[in-house]
Structures are given as C-alpha cells and as structure tokens.
Structure 1
Amino acid sequence: MTRMIRVLAVIPLLISSGATLAQDAPQAAPKPDTRYAPYPSHNFPNRVFFGDTHVHTSYSTDAGMFGNRLGPDAAYRFAKGEVVTSSTGVKARLKRPLDFLVIADHAENLGLSPMIEESDKRLWASPWGKQVHDLTKAGKAGEAYAMWGEKMTAKEDPLKGIEGLLASMWQRLTKAADAHNTPGLFTALIGYEWTSSPDGSNLHRNVVFRDDKSKADQVVPMSAYDSEDPEDLWRWMANYEKKTGGRVLAIPHNGNLSNGLMFDDVTLTARKPLDRDYAERRSKWEPLYEVTQIKGDGETHPLLSPDDEFADFETWDRGSFAAAKEPDMLPREYAREALKRGLVYEKKLGASPFRFGMIGSSDTHTSLATTDEDNFFGKATAVEPTADPIRFEEKITGYLPDPKGRDYAIRHYEASASGLAAVWARENTREAIWDAMARKEVYATTGSRMLVRVFAGFGFAADDLSRHDFARYGYAEGVPMGGDLKPSDKAPGFLIRAMRDADGANLERIQVIKGWLDADGKARERVYDVAVSGGRKIGSDGRAGKAIGNTVDVANATYDNSIGEPILQAFWKDPDFESDQHAFYYVRVLEIPTPRWTTYDAKYFGVKAPEDVPATIQERAYTSPIWYTP
C-alpha cells in the first residue's frame, strides 16, 4: 500500500516537470486531400430489406365483413415484431420483424366494416348503407356481405354521392402509415389495392406511394367502380404525380386467376393490339410483378416449361374467381412466359410491355403478414389456425357456377404460405425502398429470408467471387438485378451469391433461367444449374440430374440441415450467347425440402393432412431479370 502511494505521488511531479503524455501530443494536421475511410464515397445499395406489399386489414370489406377486427395499427405493430392477438383470439408474432409494410386495403368502399362497427351515421344517408349496417349488427354479416358482393360485381358503388366518406377512411390509413413510419428502423409505405375483376378475372394492382400523408391526401384512391381498365389507372397515377409532384407505382398480382387477361395481346377495353405507346406506359407505371403470394405461385407452369422439373410449384391453374380456365390462357398468365413474349414485343415495337422485376407478398386478409410454413395464419380470418375442417376445406374460388359446368374450386389447403419482397437499398426509408422498387433491384421469395445478390457484366471472371470488395466491384463493372446490359460481342458473365435464411433451411442449388429470341424470332427458354450442394456435379448439359435428398420427418413435421449448404456462389458465363439476340436472365435459388404448412398443421392439431398437396416443399427466390438488348 505504501509503495502504491509513492508511485501515485510521482505522477504530478512528472507532469509539473514538463513530461508530456502521449494523448497530449499535438496531432499533425492531415493534408487537405487525405482520405482514409473507404466508405464516404460509397452510395450503392448495401443491405437487403424484407417486407410485405400486400396486407389487408379490417378496412377491406372482404376482410372486415368476414370477421377481421384488426385495423392498420395492429397490422403495423405485428409487422414490427409485437405480439398481437388475432381476430379469432390466437396470439401471433413473427419470428423476426419485417423491415417495411404496405397496407393495401381495397379501394372499393374502403373502411365499410369499421364504419358499420362504429355506427357511422353517414352510412344512413343511403338506404343500402342503413340496411347493411342493421343486418351486420343483427348478426347477419353474411347477408350484408352478399348485398355488397352484388353491387361490387355489377360495379355499382352503393355509397356513391356520400360526401367525404372515402376521403375520411383514406386519411385514417395515411395517418396510421405516417405514425408508424420510422426512418431507419421501419418503413410504412402508403398504398391501396385497385381491384379490377372483369368477369371475375383477377387484374388487381397494388398502388404504392413514395410520399407522405401530405401528398397522398390530395387524392382519393381510384377504385374499380371508376374503371376496371389498367390504362385508366395509369392516367390516374400520372395525374397524381402532376398534381402533387409525388411518385407512385403499381404492382400487378400474380396472373394465375386472370384467365389469360394479365398479359394479354390486346388492350382490355378497346381490344386493340398492343403498340409501343402501351408498352412504354405499362413498363413505366408497373415496374414490378407480384410473382408469388397466398394464391399460388406465378413464375411458370409445367405445360409452359416442360423441361423444368421445378416448374410445378404451388400451382393454381383451374380458373378465375368466376369461371374455369382454358388451356390457351396459360401463356398469358405466368411471369417467365410474359418475359419471353416481352422480348418479341421489344424487337417488334422497340419497347416491351412486360419488362418487370419480381417480388413476392402475402395478400393476407387477417392483418397478419405471416409467410413462414410453421406460422401461417391463412388467407382470411375464417381459416386462421384451427383443427376445424374449415381450415383446409374452405373454398377460395369456385363459388360461382362455371358457364360450362366445370368444377374449378380451389380450397384453402392449396393456399401458399407466401411470399416476401426483398429490396436492395442503402437505408430503410420510404424513398430508398420505393426507389429500389422503381429500378427493379428487388427479388421475390416464397417466405424465406435468404440473401441473394447478382451482377452481370462483360469483364467479370471467376476470381471476382473472392474479391473483398465484391459489391463495389460488381456495381462499378456491371449491372445488378433489374439492370440492362449494353450491346457487346462478348458473352456476359454473372457473379452470383446466395446465403440461407439465418433461421431457415440450407440451400439446394442456384439456377440461371435464360429467355431469348432465336434466329427465327421465336422466344425460347433454358434452365442452367450453376451451383449445387451435396458434392453433385453439373453435367455438360448444364444440369445436375441428381436430387439433393430429403430430411423431412413428415409425421413429426421436422427437418434438419445435414444436407445442402448455408452459402452457395457461382460465376457463370452464358455458353450459348449470340450478340444479335434479345435475352433476359434471372436467378432462381432453391432450399432443401422442408415441411409444408399443411404438414405442420396436421402435426399440431392432430388432423389428417390433405392428400393432393405435397407434404414437403422447396422454398425459393426469384430475382428480377437482367436484360440484354442488341
């Protein structure tokens, strides 16, 4: 103790005698052009944000009048990771919070259910409004909904003329979005759904704003009561931007319920062949396509891609909401075929109407954005988790008789626990997320949060996969997903990296899907395996014929990661490139097999699993294409 006192006593003597400590030494002034940190000049996207652009709350009539009591506030809180009690009394929570959300409630009589719940006296200005209110309050919500359905089918707004009704409900939604929007932490994008359904065919679009409440409130949403023609929606969007100085885009739903109308060869109303003006307007206002959601997967179909063994995935191909499907409708409903036909249009017209990036989202009507197979709250409140047979057997389509008497019903056990939108951006803000969507630097997943990055260019080599500055180099020397390659005599090379969901399954393979126009102008496609797990080899035909295997224990709804790889990567150079041929390339990443949600349900509730859906699935991601134009 005495020695310590002596040492401490020396310190002030050293200081007073002029000894200088290191921290007191003057710092040499850096030169004005000194640069040390490499990052101040970086402005390229460096993070993936996961979200859902398609959530319905009680403000959607087909949700609220079917028992959904959760409004926008609950939907946002759930997306942020909070525990929320569902409308059926079941506690719900996400495994991990989302980064962003779009509440896309139907514009058609937006907020009708909350107005009924609150006994809003403005409803009583309409005899129809008073009647649906009284029926619902008397416990006859089914009859009230049927009355609304008749008006919706006839495209007759039953509340037309009641001043301020739609605007007030819209302003509630925009207020909730602004209240929950926290730049850098969580993004609440303002949006709604325009529900075009000509003759029961699904042409729905989600309209997403870049702006805040002050701009969005300057309009009221255009609804299908105003028009069912997408060209009229685009005009409305153009008028919004002109009036407010804001920005807006639309995202069509997967077209498997459109009965050939989503990617038709003629305009909807005038039935005129598509021209360059149409192509340019559609690609401007609709830069994205929702390729996967609860109502099945819309990448491709086994009849359209017979050489693709992964084409038959969560397939809904029996009809629209009102009629069975004819086989010749399929080419005008699926993303891959539309992208191929877009190449034909581009060569013919100088522009493609079907030049879109790809995202997934849920289309949930429960307010709960659940896309995990073991946490799937279903399409609507009536089919939330339960041992009741309704969970599997409730019809989603097939209520209306088909003109030819065919059974085209699709039941809830065929619903998909899908999907998510993955966005490459630098920050979690409305502006950054929306801008990434507009430039198509996005990808779709069927619910998993795997990380996927793609660059294409003419100077890449295999060694570039190992670069420490992989992303910086990729942007400097090539283009990302959603980009356009310049004409070249050299074949493009692709740098591809994929990493599994941190809480999910290992990866099974990475594939490149190519579409191109041959010498005769015919659209063709080919699937290339570019990275495979499990020590398998890729043959001279570009395919790994052997399957990875399957660790799923169906009876116990479990799997393990003893097969597959947590990370896969590849450098791939197109071996069949022709510099004078239009082409596109997108990447598909597949996980190892895991239990489907119906398998989890069967185990949890002790019920028999449906026999005509698979017990296991392979979750997947689809990137936005990269295009080559000669």
Structure 2
Amino acid sequence: MAAKALRVIGWVVLGLIVLAVLLYGGYRIASSITRYGIDKTVEIEAPSSPKSNPEYYAFGYQPELTYSEERAQCRERTSTKKAMFGDLHIHTAISADAFPDGTRTFPDDVYKFAKGQAITLPGPGGVSRGKMQLDRPLDFAAVTDHAGTFGEGYVCRTKGAFPGYDSEVCQSFRAGGEDGVRAIMGINGTTRPERPEAVCGPDNKDCLAADKLVWQDMIRFAEEAYDKSPSCNFTSLVGYEYTRAPNAQHMHRNTIFRNAQVPARAASFVTHPTTYGLLSSFEKECRLGIDGCDVISIPHNSNISGGNAFNLKYMDGFSEKSQQAFWMLRNAYDRLMEITQHKGTSECINGATDILGDVDELCDVEAIRRFGKAEKAPEITSYLPALKDSNSPECSDEYSDDKDNLYKGFCLSSRDFARGALLEGMTQGQVGPNPFEFGFIGSTDTHISAAGAVDEGSWKGHIAYETDLAGRLQAEAGIGRFNRLISNPGGLAGVYAVENSRDAIFQSMKRREAFATSGPRIEPRFFAGRYPVDLCSKNNWLEIAYRDGTPMGSSLAAQPRGFQLLVQAKRDPMSKPLERLQLIKGWIDGNGRKHSKVIDLANAKGSDDLCVVYSDPDYAPSLPTYYYMRAVEEASYRWSYRQCMALPQAKRPAGCTNDQPKKIYEMAWASPIWFTPGDKPALAASANSPSIMHRRH
C-alpha cells in the first residue's frame, strides 16, 4: 500500500514537473513574440523647410543674430561669444515618475532655483527634507517633464478636475513608491502605448484635455521666468521630454524650442510612437506650420539604449526614399546629443570589436554599463513579461527583431556611445545623409527640480528616495531609475553665444557651437583653420580663430592641404585645475573599418588655461574624419567618498563602505568638427605652417 502511494506521489510530482516545464517553455516562447510590428510601407517625407537646411548651420557660417520674438536688446553682446552654462534636462512633479517618489516642486520652482533661490528638498511621500540652493546661478534652463503622461499625472494629482482622479490607477499613483510610478509610467516601456481608460476616459478625452492644460502651464512658467529686459540675466527655454523606452531600453529625447511659438500640443510617445513620426511632426507642425517656430531634439541616455538610439537598421524594410528622408530628418533635428548626465556618460566604451583603437582609460570613469557586466535584461514589450540574465553582450543580428527593427535582450553596442555613433554616421554618410552628425551637451536629468545641482560635495540625489545619504549609497539595483550608488550628479550644457537670449542660445545649439561638462564650469574652445603656430600667445587669438577658421560643430570638406586645430580650455575657478588637453580622432579607412584614437596634446597639472595649435600628420583627405576635444581636470573626490568623509565615523551610513572609486576625473567635451570627402566648402587660404604642435599652459 505504501509502495503504491509512493508511486502515485511520484507520478504526481513528475506530472507537475512536466507541466511546469511546459508552462515555462510556453512562457518563454510567448514572451519572445513581438506584439506589434511597425508599418514599413509608410512613406516618410524629407524635410523641406528652409529652417531644416543643414547647409545654413554648417561650415562655420556665423549668421547675424535676429530676434524671433519681441524683447529688449541685450545690453551685453560679445562678438567672439561667451561661454554660458545651463541644464536642459529637468523634471518636476509634473513627471509621473517624480510625483509618486515625493517631488512636489513645479516648473516655477525650477526657474527660481536656476536663478539662485532656495527651494524645498523632497523626501518620500512629499515630506520636506529642508532647503536646497545652487552655489551660483545658471545662465539658462529648460524644464523637460515627460510629455507622454502630462494628462494622466494632472488627472491623478488634481482632485475634482476629472472623474479619473478616483480610479484605482490614480490611487496607486498617489500612494507612491514603485507601484505608483509604474501605474502610469509603465506605458513608456511598451512598443505601442495605450492610455488607461479609467484615468483618461473614453477615447482619452480627459487626458487629451489635461495634456493641453499642462503644456500651456509649462509655456507660461517659461515665459514668466525669461528675462526680456536689457540685463539678459536668465533664459528659460520651452521644452519637454519624449520618453520612449521599449524593453526599458532608452530612446529618450529632449525637445527644445527656440521661443514660445510652439505647437498647441506636445508631440509625445503616446501620440507619435515612432522616431520618424516624431521628427516628421516637428517638420510639419513647427518649422513648416508656424512661422516663428523652430525646434531641436536631443537624444539622451544612449548608453542604456541597447543598441537602439543610433541604429542604422531601424529603417530596414522601408523604401529607399523613406530611408534617405529619415536620415535627413535626423540630421536636421538631432543637432546635439546629451553626452553625460546622472545615469552615466555616453562618450565611449572599451571592448567594442567594431572599432579599432587603443583602450581609453577615461571611458570607464563612472561608467554604468561595460561589456561582460552581469545585468538583468527586461523584456516587457511582448505578450508576457520576462526578466533575463545578461552578461552585457555585444549587439549582433541575433538580438535584432525585424518586426520592429529594434535590438532586444539589453545588448550593448559601440553606437550606444557618441564616439561609435559618430563613426556609424560617417559610414552612412558615404552613401547618403549623415544621420548622426551631432554636437555635445551635458545635463542632470534631476527629478527633484534641482537644475544644475552638480557639486559632488553637496549633491542630494536625483530622486526623492536619494535625498538622504543612506538612500544615495544603496547598492545598484538595476539600470535606469535604480542607480543610486553608481549614479552621479550629472553634467551641464554649455554654449558659446553672443548674448544670453533665447535666439542667441538656440542659434548656437542648432549650429552645434555647444559643449558638455561633467559638472564643473570648464570652458573648452575648439576651432579648425589655417593658423600660425604661435596663435595661443597672441592677445587677439580668439578674434583670429573666428576670422581664419571655424568653431566646434562645423562640417567641412576634406582638406587637400594642411590645416590646424586650435584646442583651448579654461578651468572653473571653483573647481580643480586642469591636468590634460586631449583630441579624439575618429575615421573610416579605405576598407570601411572604423578607427578611434586619443591624442594627448598637453599634460600639465595645476593649469588654469591650456592652449594648443595642432596639425595632424596622419590626416588623409580621402577618409571621412572627425575630431573633438576633451579637457580633463585633476582627479577629485567622488561624492560617495567626499560626503561620507565629511561625517564623523560614528555617523557614517553603512553604505559608506562600497566599491566605488574614491576619486574621479571631471571633464569637458567640445562638439566635433567633421572633414568629409565631397563638395562642402574648404577652409579659406591663410598663413600656414608645417609645425605640428605649439602649446601654451
């Protein structure tokens, strides 16, 4: 009897095991199936607005500044342009991932903070943890809340405005925590977003109405903060974030307008779920649709895009005409990319097999992703969710899904980073438009309204759960929102503009005369021209640099004879001195292989100012080539060590014992200059010299 019972139990156990295997197998199969494919029969129109003509903003052309809106002329105007610092990636309680965490500040608070005033430091549940304040004001800022959930957030925050306020979704949202964030923000991780009817009402009519209310408020706050007096002390730019992250792989973009003449609605992921749809809407509804409207789109977090932010295969299967049109749209609108922010730096990565070049030690400074690093790879755009183990493999065809032309499995690619994406763009540029010809900015991606709060010693985190030191020191829990210990204060956007006005700043950004810093207000200058070797020692070197050359962000024809690169940087007086001045060169050889090289131009610790005139002895006019510059400070203490050491031993949180480096290198990056075989204008003839390098420090 006992033996029979054991046999029955054995068969039951075996049956359960078989059932579990079948269920698991079915789950894995179902979770690997793409729910939606993109329509590849869509015909994409090439940009036709004069504002989309890349010729106008390339080749060093310096157009006269004209105002696109009524304002007083700035009292201070500098013909050789002045470095200005700002933040173009800022979230407030309008963002549906910030409010559930505890953020209770809004765009008007951001602009007060950016101007130097104190605002409330939030904690979980909206509890105040005191005040925070910048050590020095910013020159400009743009609030970039998540546009795709403007309406849902408003409905759930505003009692009595719409019936959806009482829905379970809104109750979860207001209760906070990760469930509150996912209640609404979860739609951004899908391929085709669907708004919750319980919140938005039939046909999304309530959320559509609320979308418009929020957008009008954001425009109004920016208008009220903008200094239109002759003093020109502060510029507020109208903007928002386009948040697209299928499989949690970030294809996010910040939208920045020239002025307040903008479309009636923000084009978001829920209204335009494809990149080509978004950029096409900018052309139709802004540049062509409104006389005074102009806009740029700034990709960010490409380091966690899983091969998708700068993916040439995204247009596979579309007609040749549509492909060319899309590359032209990207060239016309992606004038900048965010190279650094609190989720890490997207400059470069070591170990990519498709780029030939030396290991760059600075690629690993506070890097969030590395080849071979064990990570959890989410799959949330299929029929069933899956969470897979990943060793951060290099993206290959096996990770590409031809139904939606996206890479999956959270793979890692050289083109997730600026250096590789620029090379990928030049490869495409040999047969058509270069879609990845962008300059650089940095920003914070703060979710507590702390625009430009980048000081390592006083940084309070990027979400409300990090505003106490113990919260910031929590070990890594995942990529994206949960960086905590591996996170950093983020960076700043820099521009060289003739004055502090919207038109001047936007014109410089669109022309790519922009730069990024990892936080300190380093001022990098980068020119290509025909310069004397002793230019750095001349009092009027900057006037000569503009007169006989072209600044960062320019695209030039291949040069048949020698030219010089002027590379200069000035330290931030409130930070560490400069230590290194470097030139990064990328090129495509005659066999189509990609190359990258770091060239040390100056290595002089304790420098306030470094300047070099350099001629590349290995430059080949027949090869597509880019250069950009990097200025590096002396090593300084990272926030995780510095803030712990500021406390008595007995009061240090347990997280003060961690595996993060004690010191880091703060940096600044100037936008590239391209040399492309073809018919673009060459540099004007001027004095030249066979000398390779001349330094000043």
What is the TM-score when the length of structure 1 is the normalising length? 0.81
Which deviates further from its counterpart, 293-302 or 223-232? 223-232
Q: Deviations over 1:314-364 (max 9, x none)?
A: 212256873644223322201001111222111232x21110001111111
% identical aligned pairs: 30
* DSSP-derived class of the 1:589 partner: strand
Shift, 1:157, TM fit: 1.2
Residue 580 of structure 2 aligns with an amino acid whose one-letter code is: R
1:479/1:485 contact within 8 Å kept: no
SS in 2 for 1:462: coil
Cα 1:112–1:79 shift into 2, 3 Å? farther
Q: 1:59 to 1:346 in 2, by over 3 A?
A: same
- Is contact 1:342–1:352 with CA below 8 Å preserved after alignment? yes
Q: Which residue of 1 aligns with 2:119?
A: 84
Mapped to 1, the partners of 2:323 and 2:376 lie a distance apart of 27
Are 2:167 and 1:130 equivalent residues in the alignment? yes
Equivalent residue in structure 2 for 1:612, among 647, 654, 659: 659
Alpha-carbon shift at residue 256 of structure 1 (Å):
1.2
Q: Name the SS for the 1:90 alignment partner.
A: strand
Q: Secondary structure at the match of 1:602?
A: helix
Q: 1:341 maps to which residue?
A: 424
Whichever residue aligns with residue 253 of structure 2, its letter is: R
- 2:642 corresponds in structure 1 to 600
Higher alpha-carbon deviation: 467-476 or 435-444: 467-476
Task: Quote the Cα distance in structure 2 between the aligned partners of 1:321 and 1:285.
Answer: 30
Instruction: Provide Cα deviations, 1:40-72, integer angstroms capped at 9, x if missing partner.
Output: 9x9744201100000000000000111101111
Say whether the 8 Å CA contact 1:229–1:269 is kept in structure 2.
no
What is aligned with 1:119? 159
* Correspondences of 1:440-451 after superposition (within 5 Å): 440-451=512-523
Partner of 1:19: none
Q: Give me the whole-angstrom Cα distance separating, in 1, the residues matched to 2:568 and 2:659.
A: 35
Q: Are positions 1:475 and 2:475 aligned together?
A: no
- Corresponding position of 2:269: 224
Equivalenced residue count is 541
1:373 is displaced (CA, Å) by 0.9
Closer, same or farther in 2 for the Cα pair 1:178/1:193, shift >3 Å? same
- Higher mean C-alpha displacement, 310-319 vs 72-81: 310-319
* Shift in alpha-carbon separation, 1:626–1:193, aligned structure 2, 3 A: same
Answer yes or no: is the 8 Å Cα contact 2:440–2:515 preserved in 1: yes
CA distance in 2, matches of 1:113, 1:394: 28
Question: Aligned ranges for residues 195-594 of structure 1 at < 5 Å?
Answer: 195-212=243-260, 215-216=261-262, 218-241=263-286, 242-245=288-291, 246-267=293-314, 275-304=323-352, 306-317=358-369, 322=378, 324=390, 325-328=392-395, 329-349=412-432, 351-369=433-451, 370-384=453-467, 386-389=468-471, 391-393=473-475, 395-397=477-479, 411-457=483-529, 459-534=530-605, 564-594=606-636
Partner of 1:156: 194
Cα distance 1:577–1:199, how it changes in 2: closer, same or farther (>3 A)? same
Cα distance in 1, alignment partners of residues 598 and 176 from structure 2: 53
On the 8 A contact 1:263/1:332 being kept in 2, the answer is: yes
Deviation, structure 1 residue 379: 2.0
CA separation in 2, counterparts of 1:114 and 1:165?
Answer: 6
2:218 to 173, 186, 194: 173
CA contact (8 A) 1:254 1:334 kept: no
Which whole-Å CA distance do the structure 1 matches of 2:557 and 2:476 have between them?
A: 50
Q: C-alpha separation between the residues in 2 aligned to 1:397 and 1:346?
A: 32
Distance 1:100 1:157, change over 3 A: same
Aligned mates of 1:626, 1:345 — CA distance in 2: 17
Of residues 77-86 and 310-319 in structure 1, the stretch that sits farther from structure 2 once superposed is 310-319
Instruction: Tell me the CA shift for residue 484 of structure 1.
Output: 2.4
Q: C-alpha displacement at 1:115, in angstroms?
A: 4.6
When residues 509 and 144 of structure 1 are mapped into structure 2, their CA distance, relative to the original with a 3 A threshold, is closer
Q: Work out which of the residue numbers 143, 146, 155 in structure 2 matches 1:103.
A: 143
Q: Once the 2 structures are TM-superposed, how far is the Cα of residue 150 of structure 1 from its aligned partner? A: 4.4
* Cα displacement string for residues 245-270 of structure 1 (whole angstroms, at most 9, x for unaligned residues): 21011000031111110111212685
Structure 1 residues 206 and 626 mapped into 2: Cα distance closer, same or farther (>3 Å)? same
Letter aligned with residue 47 of structure 1: K
Q: 1:624 to 1:153 in 2, by over 3 A?
A: closer
Classify the secondary structure of the residue corresponding to 2:607: coil
Amino acid at match of 1:80: K
Q: CA deviation at 1:134?
A: 4.0
The answer to whether the 8 A contact 1:344-1:522 is kept is no
Which segment drifts farther, 88-97 or 299-308?
Answer: 299-308
Q: 2: distance between equivalents of 1:574 and 1:341?
A: 22
The 1:263–1:48 alpha-carbon spacing in structure 2 relative to 1, beyond 3 Å, is same
**2:140 is matched by which residue type in structure 1?**
F
Matched residue of 1:52: which SS?
Answer: strand
Structure 1 Cα separation of the partners of residues 245 and 376 of structure 2: 10
The amino acid across from 1:94 in the alignment is: L
Q: What is aligned with 2:13? A: none
CA separation in 2, counterparts of 1:504 and 1:475?
28
Q: Distance in 2 between matches of 1:310 and 1:284?
A: 31
Change (3 A) 1:140 1:207: closer
Ranked by relative contact order (alpha carbons within 8 Å, sequence separation 6 or more), the top structure is: 2
Q: Secondary structure at the match of 1:514?
A: strand
Q: Is the CA contact 2:473–2:640 (under 8 Å) kept in the aligned structure 1? A: no
Separation (CA, whole Å) in 1 of partners of 2:319 and 2:640: 44
Query: Aligned-pair RMSD on alpha carbons?
Result: 2.4
Q: Distance in 1 between matches of 2:116 and 2:480?
A: 35
* 1:78/1:84 contact within 8 Å kept: yes
- Give TM-score scaled by structure 2 length: 0.74
> Which residue is 2:11 aligned to?
none
Q: 1:398, 1:530 → 2: CA distance?
A: 36
Aligned-partner Cα distance in 2 for 1:506–1:244: 47
Deviations 1:579-609 (A, max 9, x none): 2221111001100000111112212342353
Unaligned runs of 5+ in 1: 1-39, 400-409, 535-563
Distance in 1 (CA, whole Å) between partners of 2:345 and 2:180 is 32
**Residue of structure 2 in register with 1:147 after alignment:** 183
Q: What amino acid sits opposite 1:475 in the alignment? A: Y
What amino acid does structure 2 have at the position aligned with 1:51?
G
| Alpha-carbon separation, structure 1, partners of 2:299 and 2:532 | 37
1:135: how far off?
Answer: 4.6
- Deviation at residue 380 of structure 1 after TM alignment: 0.7
| Max Rg structure | 1
Distance 1:64 1:234 in 2: 29
Shift of residue 477, structure 1, vs aligned partner? 0.5
CA distance in structure 1 between the aligned counterparts of 2:474 and 2:272, rounded to whole angstroms = 35
Residue aligned with 1:521, SS: coil
Residues 307 and 415, structure 2, Cα contact 8 Å, conserved in 1: yes
